[in-house]
A and B are shown apart, each in its own frame.
Chain A
Amino acid sequence: MQVTVLSGKGGTGKTTIAVGIAETIKNSIKIDCDVDAANMYLYYKGKQTEKESFYSGKTARINSDKCIRCGKCFRNCKFDAIKDYKVDSLKCEGCGICKLVCPVGAIEMFDNHVADIIEEKIKNGNLIRADMEIGADGSGRLITKLRSKVKNNNEIIIVDGSPGIGCPVISSVTDTDFCLIVTEPTLSGLNDLERLLELINSFKIKSLVCINKYDINCNMTEKVKDYCKERNIEIIGLIPYDDMVIKSINDLKPIISYQTSRAGREIKKIAEKIFKIYKEEYL
């Protein structure tokens, strides 16, 4: 079973909820697909079992000894990546057109190191994550690679996704069983939820929605509920605002380990519902 936790808008509580759900069961594989702001591993003291360098895409380099400064490279570059016969590695998208048009073979393409992929054994399963190079491109391919690390699909796999609706999100939802969308009762949250749902629907993947901090604006919560109801999307949880959540993040302990946490109790219920839905609909 694979459930991907997404949100559209950032900072709605994806990681808190993904870890909370994962902690209700004895064994699961957790994949942190929010590769450029990966926080899931902070909760776990694991033992690294595998580390692999991941390369994706290329960057051009001009050999100044061979270059005759004819200008063909920068005239053909669509990304303004060449100035004074030097390649700006942050702008270069690695298409290779400069190498193609160079008449003297002065340009070579080099593979980009995007991330180290790390697998860790943790107390209740495994964690797969990436230590991504800051400013790197290619998060979509990296996420596809992270998800391909799971060999046995019979396990319970919890994917912590990234915000937005672009390439990392598209790569995180492909072939997932369903998505759990974490939203918040704000106009921004609702706007982003609408855009995300449209994306997920285009992949014909089932979505479940939970509203985090639902009680900070009950009117807006009703609007989110109405929106989901119109589209036949189930709301599987309303998580109350709870100061204990910030404490749990700063203690780096899963929220469900706090017995008195109201948010933690609701997340446990959400986890139970998810596993029930999975058994009913997918097994």
Chain B
Amino acid sequence: MLSGKGGTGKTLVSTNLALCMEANYVDADVEEPNGFIFLKPKIENIDNVEVDIPSIDTNRCQKCYKCVSFCDFNALAIAKDDILVFDKLCHSCGGCKIVCDYGAISYKKKKIGIIEKGTCRNIKCLRGVLNIGEAISSSLVKKLLSNLSSEINIIDSAPGTSCNVVNTLSYAGCAILVTEPTEFGLHDLKRAITLVENLKIPFGVVINRVIKHDNIIKKYCENKNIKILGEINYDKKIAELYSNGNLLIDNDSYKKVFIDLSKNIKEHLLCR
């Protein structure tokens, strides 16, 4: 589930759809994971996610600075004579240890976040939570998504179209793009479409907050022959339910939207 633009309703669609399809819910928006606010799963397991950060043995270090010149992420720097490690810039590639001729570099573990597992009603829920202040979340997202079960997993992605989203998409079999019928929504949707097309991932679009049935997103998708999987009407009641952390499928008047959406997804994306 991705969007380009933030705040279009990825989490709203993902959480309700996961329950409706009896699929697993996976929150990969690790900077701001919100799905559990709605699903309120009973947490059964919490795993720490750690990365390797270099540690320099000053007795062995001969100050050749090969490690500093190798590191392309500026995670190692010279201050006076000593080598400083900027752990937040480190990608844990392991290169500094290899270039060191004196065996002065070893790695220590640093926790960058957690992965929580739980159950809500009859579905499994999973999420990654990045520690505040950490800049690089890719290893957390990879850890979260690399051991998914073979059932249907609905992955709630981060917004945008950069590295985090690409990372998430590398584990996806198909994509659902959630957007809203505004110029901003369309502008960012076009970027998300280009991304999934480049990656050759089958996809469809969900339009949220529909006011007019005939809107710019619909026109665009019809023109480009892009499948519209579902539409959610603009409704103040939905905004209110959402704001209090409530699910829509518990309300009979909204349940049908997700049943129809599930059907369309099964028919157009999962059958391929």
B5, CB-defined interface residue at 8 Å: yes
Q: In the complex, what distance in Å separates the CA atom of A184 from the CA atom of B32?
A: 14
Nearest CB to that of A184 among chain B residues? Answer: B243
Residue A166 CB within 8 A of the other chain: yes
Cβ contact within 8 Å between B163 and A78: no
Asked if residues B6 and A93 are in contact (CB atoms below 8 Å), the reply is no
Binds A, one of B18-26, B186-194, B222-230: B186-194
Q: A185 to chain B: which residues have CB within 8 Å?
A: 243
Beyond A42-B187, A220-B243, whether A37 also contacts B93 by CB under 8 A is no
B7 in the interface (beta carbon within 8 A): yes
Cα(A10)–Cα(B6), bound, Å:
4
Residues of A within 8 A of B31 (CB): 163-166, 195
B residues in contact with A242, CB < 8 Å: none
Cβ B244 vs Cβ A134 within 8 A:
no
Distance between Cα atoms of A187 and B216 in the complex (Å): 30
Do residues B70 and A100 form an inter-chain contact, with CB atoms below 8 A?
A: yes
A162-B160 contact in complex given A9-B34, A97-B93, A187-B245, C-beta closer than 8 Å: yes
Q: Are A95 and B244 in contact (CB under 8 A)?
A: no
- A39 to B7 alpha-carbon distance, docked (Å): 14
CB of B244 within 8 A of CB of A135, answer no
Complex Cα spacing A136 to B194, Å = 12
Contact A188-B72, Cβ < 8 Å, known A42-B183, A140-B135, A220-B244: no
State the Cβ distance, A25 to closest chain B Cβ, in Å.
Answer: 23
Indicate if the CB atoms of A188 and B95 lie closer than 8 Å.
no
**B164 to chain A: which residues have CB within 8 Å?**
166
Is the CB–CB distance between A166 and B130 below 8 Å? yes
- Residue B195 is within 8 A (CB to CB) of chain A in the complex: yes
Contact with B along A82-94 (1 / 0, CB 8 A): 0000000011011
Q: Count B-side interface residues using an 8 Å CB cutoff.
A: 59
A95 touches B7 (CB 8 A): no
Closest to B184 in A: A39
Residue from B130, B135, B187, B242 within 8 A of A39 (CB atoms): B187
Q: Are the CB atoms of B188 and A39 closer together than 8 Å?
A: yes
The residue that A11 contacts in the complex, of B6, B91, B165, with Cβ under 8 A, is B6
A186: chain B residues at CB < 8 Å are: 242-245
B165: chain A residues at CB < 8 Å are 135
Is the CB–CB distance between A100 and B5 below 8 Å?
no
Instruction: Kindly identify, within residues 136 to 194 of chain A, every residue whose CB is under 8 Å from any CB belonging to chain B.
Output: 136-140, 162-167, 170, 184-189, 191-192
Pick from B29, B99, B166, B188: contact of A37, CB below 8 A. B188
Which residues from A are CB-within-8-Å of B136? Answer: 166-167
A70 at the interface (CB under 8 A from B): no
* Chain B residue with Cβ nearest A185: B243
Whether a CB of chain A sits under 8 angstroms from the CB of B148 is no
A150 to B177, CA, bound (A): 36
User: How far apart are the CA atoms of A187 and B240 in the complex, in Å?
Assistant: 11
Q: In the complex the two chains form, is A137's CB within 8 Å of B163's CB? A: yes
Q: List residues of B (89-105) whose CB comes within 8 Å of A's CBs.
A: 91-95, 98-99
Name 13 A/B residue pairs within 8 A (Cβ), A-sorted. Answer: A37-B6, A37-B187, A93-B93, A100-B98, A100-B99, A134-B194, A163-B7, A165-B32, A186-B242, A189-B243, A195-B32, A249-B184, A252-B183
- Residues of A at under 8 Å CB distance from B? 7-12, 15, 35-37, 39, 42, 57-58, 76, 78-79, 90-91, 93-97, 100-101, 132, 134-140, 162-167, 170, 184-189, 191-192, 195, 198-199, 202, 213, 216-217, 220, 246, 249-250, 252
Known: A137-B163, A249-B183, A250-B182. 10 other contacts (CB 8 A): A12-B7, A90-B199, A135-B195, A166-B137, A167-B135, A184-B243, A185-B243, A186-B242, A213-B239, A246-B211
